[in-house]
Amino acid sequence: MNEKFSDDIYGRARVQDTPELEAYYKELEGLGAGALWTVANDIEPWEPKSKSTPMLWKYESLRHLVLKSSELVTPEQAGRRVVYLVNDNRKDVSAAVGWLYTGIQVTRPGEFTSAHRHKASALRFIMEGEGGYTVVDGNKIMLEVNDFVITPNSTWHEHGVDANGKTCIWQDGLDIPLVNALEANDYAVLEGTQELVAPINYSPMTYGGTGLIPPDKEWNKPYSPLFKYSWKVVYPALLEAEKVNEPNPLDGIIMKYTNPMNGDHVMQTMGASIQLLPKGFKGKAHKHTGSFVYQCAKGKGYSIINGKRFDWKERDIFCVPSWAWHEHHNLSETEDACLFSFNDLPVIEKLGLYQERFFKENNGHQIIE
Amino acid sequence: MNEKFSDDIYGRARVQDTPELEAYYKELEGLGAGALWTVANDIEPWEPKSKSTPMLWKYESLRHLVLKSSELVTPEQAGRRVVYLVNDNRKDVSAAVGWLYTGIQVTRPGEFTSAHRHKASALRFIMEGEGGYTVVDGNKIMLEVNDFVITPNSTWHEHGVDANGKTCIWQDGLDIPLVNALEANDYAVLEGTQELVAPINYSPMTYGGTGLIPPDKEWNKPYSPLFKYSWKVVYPALLEAEKVNEPNPLDGIIMKYTNPMNGDHVMQTMGASIQLLPKGFKGKAHKHTGSFVYQCAKGKGYSIINGKRFDWKERDIFCVPSWAWHEHHNLSETEDACLFSFNDLPVIEKLGLYQERFFKENNGHQIIE
Amino acid sequence: MNEKFSDDIYGRARVQDTPELEAYYKELEGLGAGALWTVANDIEPWEPKSKSTPMLWKYESLRHLVLKSSELVTPEQAGRRVVYLVNDNRKDVSAAVGWLYTGIQVTRPGEFTSAHRHKASALRFIMEGEGGYTVVDGNKIMLEVNDFVITPNSTWHEHGVDANGKTCIWQDGLDIPLVNALEANDYAVLEGTQELVAPINYSPMTYGGTGLIPPDKEWNKPYSPLFKYSWKVVYPALLEAEKVNEPNPLDGIIMKYTNPMNGDHVMQTMGASIQLLPKGFKGKAHKHTGSFVYQCAKGKGYSIINGKRFDWKERDIFCVPSWAWHEHHNLSETEDACLFSFNDLPVIEKLGLYQERFFKENNGHQIIE
Amino acid sequence: MNEKFSDDIYGRARVQDTPELEAYYKELEGLGAGALWTVANDIEPWEPKSKSTPMLWKYESLRHLVLKSSELVTPEQAGRRVVYLVNDNRKDVSAAVGWLYTGIQVTRPGEFTSAHRHKASALRFIMEGEGGYTVVDGNKIMLEVNDFVITPNSTWHEHGVDANGKTCIWQDGLDIPLVNALEANDYAVLEGTQELVAPINYSPMTYGGTGLIPPDKEWNKPYSPLFKYSWKVVYPALLEAEKVNEPNPLDGIIMKYTNPMNGDHVMQTMGASIQLLPKGFKGKAHKHTGSFVYQCAKGKGYSIINGKRFDWKERDIFCVPSWAWHEHHNLSETEDACLFSFNDLPVIEKLGLYQERFFKENNGHQIIE
């Protein structure tokens, strides 16, 4: 706590304990009450504070353990066979950062889970494999590496890999900790798998045209009807944008995945973005409210988070807590790097809690500790 | 007027003239007034009524006249060198149908107009040529055949063809008659042409990714930031959708051009759609409020409008008035046909005036008169 | 047309007729086409233009004629017994100004109309009488002088006066001319009167609490659930606001009647306001798009419209066309004056066509011609 | 946990520990990871679960302690002199229920606090006294018993009692625990008090007209411009509504305090309601997501929460946790009772997490344990 934020000023609690006050506090406690000034400075911090610590999970360390899970337990036993990544300071809520959960799931060819649903929302970013699929409310979506797929709040969903595919590994992102904290989560299982209600890939083939929406179909759900954002169209879009835009000093060329029906985040509680760091890009630092989980989708580089350097390459996962200074650097002078990320910005924004600050010293770059 | 809609019932005006009433009417007239019952049945029709008549404009008849205009007048003299298409019953307001204006504009290589702007909104659909462009608020957009481009309310805009291009012909669509009727139009000219504020094709290259929006750019205009919808991505999107959707019985495979920021119509007063009629498609009839101008973008077929058949092929233009029965047929058993259309649906919808009726007799098909 | 708006400049049509061109025009005409440059300057005016002329209707001249209508025709014959006020330049569309209709309706004690509905929206402002009522979709609303009541698009409605009431006169406002022009109007009659679905005055008694909405009732209609805005609460609200606000230089103390569910205009196509001109108030002039019909609800004063003075007192009705300069003056130094008005602003605003200009010369006041 | 929710079914985690697995878990732990199936059933509950317990705080027990605080500490020392009410199971976050904080604040005549602001939102409900006031962003609002006043996210605010007033006691409600949990809170103090920017009571006197909004004032803040909802108009509105509405079986006559600009909750993160339980009213039970804090504003009765009876009378405060069965009863056969409540429904609703269940047995009434 620096001097800028001293509690020894008018407007902050500055009461000294006395025997009389202690007796008073005890009396209040007996009635389910307390004196605000005994906790006020704690619960009214000067600036946003995160409980999470920045962390990086190296894929090369985790991959064999993820694969090993498929030898140790069956999907029938495990529900879903997932290694989850947990923040050192958020083990109590099983969160990777803030109120966001993330995990790495493996599915062998021919395996599939039973269908379930919950108030928590989920998303997936494909890391490896062929022939993987997700079924969302009866819509089967085929998945390829770097595809981004959503299974929103209360949709039935299940996952699998075609028998003639290759072992698939993907990253799961959920807001389970948040929805639990808000005391609103639920869970239901379906016996077996869903019946398909539409041809395979119906959703991306119907809603995948830029700026084109079928006016004869009703869509009144509070999330995107486009369940999959394919890398094979997303990456070219980044390259096109790069040709006509100066890279944003903080984020390079960045695109928010959006609901084409309203331009909003893809789901009500979690957003996601993809960003391209041009060759040699050295991003400047800022901090803002909202928690983020990143996966490197392409290339290699490093991020400096609250003064600490985290080196990443393809498939590594790391997190940026709320109000942590962060900046991203591409280590290559010849190739671009791409970062996928998901976040709780829909929550932060809808509740009016977003704020941002730019790092002004040292030309915008943090000093590495 | 059939019996269903007799005015000889309670609730309609049924007053007979008498000398006393005639004196009364005269007295009212002198005070800038009248008796409602003398006009009530006229101004309160039982069903929506359009003043327009269905019409078809054959491109093969008009093309040489359009080209000839470029010999008769210069852009400097004419402002814009356009042959406009006018409904037989709407000559007083220079409208093709309802309150919509349409015209065919020709521009020779190296020609360009000066920039202007107006409260009326405009759109273009490219019919022929190479190297054509539109500049919208400083953004130069290159145009190819079947591209759809917008120049919304109050944007500065100008058009031209690169010196090494080929003569371009495009259809203009504007709501000039509507904005004049609403007594809100204006006009301003810029001396010369606009300075470019962004690289060529900045808009479609930045906003052209499906479900991708750059979160670091502000956009608070009431129209689409995507100024061009390219045929080279629109037509494949129609083909993809066709693979996984049953054709809509009325419209085949239909897509509304939308603003990716909010899923709404591309502009505040005019909407547009593209539809693919599969080979052998025989659309059923309906009628609804709202006026439509169509251009055949591909193939050949016919539409039956209020019982009259209109045969069209690529580049032909026709109109469907408000509340006119209409159905579309593809005449080919081997190739699809595509219809571009624009309309005043944003007006009709926002004002709560949309209604639709389906043609139930004869399996949904009108009897041609 | 002043020099500022000369058509003899680049960007406007300046083509001279020649025999060759005349032949060309004739050829185009035969094909349902024309040369844009022959009409361009007409259909693209430099500034908004209204066809309407400012007019004032004195109640003392009209009142006896309105009452006389009740001797000349029965409600059964007339449908509704209304004297409508028509603009000298809008007789073709039966409009008082722009696309707005207004009329004065009389109902004797014990009389009532049958129920009907239409796509046009309607509103009423009560001028005289006791025991009047309107039934809106089965909700009976009792009306007193200066109450404002709405019967939105497609609601069933009927009017009457209780047998023990006093002859009622009210002003009707409708957008019939607009909805006809947009080719979307319809009409239906109910045999007899509606059955009531709720206690008398259910709507204002349920939705009349400031900032209070019953969360257990569903309301998904596109208009206000508050059907009546009672003078007995509206006028005190104006007085309260006057105590803590400087009068707006243009409009004094002005309040928009709004839909409490969303703060929007009361209906989709017509808005309404009430304004209090403090004693001695001398409003400044401005002009804007949108057409307005005013009724003086209290006091006396005058308005200057496009340089012409119109003196009004309680119950007089006058109109301000689109883009006409106008300013309002209270003639009393001891009492406030109140003006009710209704308008087509919802249309103008939703379509992006609003613009405003302030009169800057002469300290904001027009010179009376 | 009843049988309905057994974890021994397909789709839930059912893995038995083995030495091999335990070694595996240890390896994961070293990498900041874990096996999802070891926590899955815990973090994916079958139904919403609240950590809070229902509680009632009797005013007669607390009042003298609240008053005593004004002898023990000065506002200068305490910041604000508040006794806060804390849930037995939420002491770690200083919450009364869920993520909502509440407290009782006392201010003596002539006392006032300094101004401060924070990202957390706050509201107040006046319990006792005369001459109290709140200043919200320079707007001074006078407060009377049962008035409801808001000080939204990031507004400067301060409180006081006029020197010639009477000691005031009010309930504070804040979302401090929520905004802290979302890692987004901040705090700033102003030296001294705010300068007033408008006449006293400007906000309620300008925005207090039912369905009336001043169209000439800009308001683009994400909360209600009506800072005070006066009991002197709120209670009559409840009585009016009671005359024409059957009481809701759950809630009697209930009104949500709303933002008149958009009909939404008064603030972005907290909502509030007032409800009248008619004489003899016996409410039925339901449960839903969202946390609620109640204060009895009038009369006496009891609520049954999760099978336990809590008797309350004027000024008592109690809470209903998320997903707790609850029903409200008026104990008087001759007088109505009124309950004020505030909640986190804006959060629950915007994030798509609302669900509700009705108690169907025993004619809708819980059996008291």
Q: Residue C104 pairs with which residues in a beta bridge?
A: C83, C171
Cβ <8 Å between C263 and D258 = no
Chains that touch D (3 or more CB pairs under 8 A): A, C
B79-112 confidence digits (pLDDT tens)? 888 999 999 999 999 999 999 999 999 999 999 9
Residue B76: predicted pLDDT: 80
CB count within 10 Å of CB C190 equals 15
CA pair distance A85, A105, nearest whole angstrom: 11
Whether pLDDT at A1 is above 60: no
CA pair distance A226, A204, nearest whole angstrom: 6
pLDDT band at B1 (very low <50, low <70, confident <90, very high): very low
Task: Write down the mean pLDDT value for chain C.
Answer: 96
How many CA atoms does the CB half-sphere of B197 hold within 13 Å?
A: 9
Cβ <8 Å between A68 and D24 = yes
Residue A119: predicted pLDDT: 97
Distance from CA of C121 to the nearest CA of D (A): 19
Distance from CA of B274 to the nearest CA of A (A): 9
Query: Three-class SS string for D222-273?
Result: CCCCCCEECHHHHHHHHHHHHHHCCCECCCEEEEEEECCCCCCECCCCCEEE
CA pair distance B20, C330, nearest whole angstrom: 40
Distance from CA of B210 to the nearest CA of A (A): 4
CA pair distance A253, A234, nearest whole angstrom: 12
Contacts of B198 in chain A (CB under 8 A): 244
Task: Write down the mean pLDDT value for chain B.
Answer: 96
Three-state DSSP at C120 gives coil
Can you list the positions of beta strands (E) in A137-220?
Answer: 139-143, 148-151, 157-174, 187-189, 212-213
Distance from CA of D147 to the nearest CA of A (A): 23
Cβ <8 Å between D39 and A84 = yes
CB count within 10 Å of CB C13 equals 19
Domain boundaries, chain B: 55-364
Q: Which of D12, D27, D44, D121 to mutate to test the interface with A (most CBs of A within 10 A)?
A: D44
Specify whether the CB–CB gap between B287 and A237 falls below 8 A: no
CA A347, chain centre distance (Å)? 12
Among C323, C328, C321, residue whose Cα is nearest residue C296: C328
Cβ <8 Å between D94 and A43 = yes
Cβ contacts from A onto D, under 8 A: 297
Residue A4: predicted pLDDT: 65
Whether pLDDT at C2 is above 60: no
CA distances from C195 to B92, B302, C161, C221, D84 (A): 46, 49, 17, 20, 54
Q: Where do the H-state alpha helices sit in A87-209?
A: 176-181, 202-207
Contacts of C199 in chain D (CB under 8 A): 243-244
What strand order describes the sheet that includes A300-305? A308-313, A300-305, A326-330, A286-288, A356-358
* D abuts B (3+ Cβ pairs < 8 Å): no
Query: Three-class SS string for C62-110?
Result: HHHHHHHHHHHCCHHHHCCCEEEECCCCCHHHCCCECCEEEEEEEECCC
Cβ <8 Å between D183 and A352 = no
Cβ <8 Å between C226 and D212 = no
Stretch (H or E) spanning B25: helix B19-30
Which of C199, C211, C215 minimises the CB distance to D260? C211
Whether pLDDT at D216 is above 50: yes
Specify whether the CB–CB gap between C36 and B103 falls below 8 A: yes
Specify whether the CB–CB gap between D263 and C261 falls below 8 A: yes
Specify whether the CB–CB gap between A282 and A366 falls below 8 A: no
CA pair distance D188, D173, nearest whole angstrom: 19
Whether pLDDT at A2 is above 50: no
Contacts of B244 in chain A (CB under 8 A): 198-202, 205-206
Cβ contacts from A onto B, under 8 A: 146
pLDDT band at C4 (very low <50, low <70, confident <90, very high): low
Distance from CA of A21 to the nearest CA of B (A): 53
What's the rounded mean pLDDT across residues B135-149?
98
Nearest CA in chain D to A21: D72
CATH superfamily of domain region C55-364: Jelly Rolls (2.60.120.10)
Distance from CA of D197 to the nearest CA of C (A): 11
Stretch (H or E) spanning D288: strand D286-288
Q: Bigger pLDDT: B136 or C76?
A: B136
C200-234 confidence digits (pLDDT tens)? 999 999 999 999 999 999 999 999 999 999 999 99
Residue D4: predicted pLDDT: 65
CA pair distance A225, A17, nearest whole angstrom: 59
Nearest CA in chain A to B199: A244
Q: Where do the H-state alpha helices sit in chain A?
A: 19-30, 40-43, 59-72, 75-78, 176-181, 202-207, 231-244, 345-350
ipTM: 0.96
CA pair distance B11, B3, nearest whole angstrom: 15
A320-348 confidence digits (pLDDT tens)? 999 999 999 999 999 999 999 999 999 99
Cβ <8 Å between B37 and C82 = yes
The DSSP letter of residue B20 is: H
D109-132 confidence digits (pLDDT tens)? 999 988 999 999 999 999 999 999
Contacts of B215 (CB under 8 A, 6+ apart): A254, A255, A256, A273
Cβ <8 Å between C213 and D258 = yes
What's the rounded mean pLDDT across residues B118-141?
98
Chains that touch A (3 or more CB pairs under 8 A): B, D
Which of D206, D216, D245 minimises the CB distance to C248? D216
Cβ <8 Å between D34 and A222 = no
What's the rounded mean pLDDT across residues B160-188?
97
Q: Which of B49, B50, B124, B182 to mutate to test the interface with C (most CBs of C within 10 A)?
A: B182
Contacts of B271 (CB under 8 A, 6+ apart): B256, B257, B265, B342, B343, B344, B345, B346
Specify whether the CB–CB gap between C211 and D229 falls below 8 A: yes
Specify whether the CB–CB gap between C338 and C276 falls below 8 A: yes
C149-166 confidence digits (pLDDT tens)? 999 999 999 999 999 999
* A abuts C (3+ Cβ pairs < 8 Å): no
Whether pLDDT at A9 is above 90: no
- Ordered DSSP codes for B115-176: PEEESS-EEEEEEEEEEEEEEETTEEEEE-TT-EEEE-TT--EEEEEEEEEEEEEEEEEE-H
Whether pLDDT at A225 is above 60: yes
CA pair distance D238, D231, nearest whole angstrom: 10
Distance from CA of A177 to the nearest CA of D (A): 7
Contacts of A255 in chain B (CB under 8 A): 209, 212-215
Query: Three-class SS string for B52-108?
Result: CCCEEECHHHHHHHHHHHHHHCCHHHHCCCEEEECCCCCHHHCCCECCEEEEEEEEC
Which of A27, A83, A269 minimises the CB distance to D351? A269
Which of A216, A226, A241 minimises the CB distance to B206? A241
A111-147 confidence digits (pLDDT tens)? 998 899 999 999 999 999 999 999 999 999 999 999 9
Residue D191: predicted pLDDT: 84
What's the rounded mean pLDDT across residues C68-84?
88
Token pair of C105, please?
């309706």
Q: State how beta strands A271-277 and A300-305 pair.
A: unpaired
Can you list the positions of beta strands (E) in C223-359?
Answer: 228-229, 253-257, 271-277, 286-288, 292-298, 300-305, 308-313, 317-320, 326-330, 337-343, 356-358
Rounded to 10 deg, the angle between the C59-72 and B19-30 helix axes is 160
Cβ <8 Å between C289 and B183 = yes
Task: Write down the mean pLDDT value for chain A.
Answer: 96
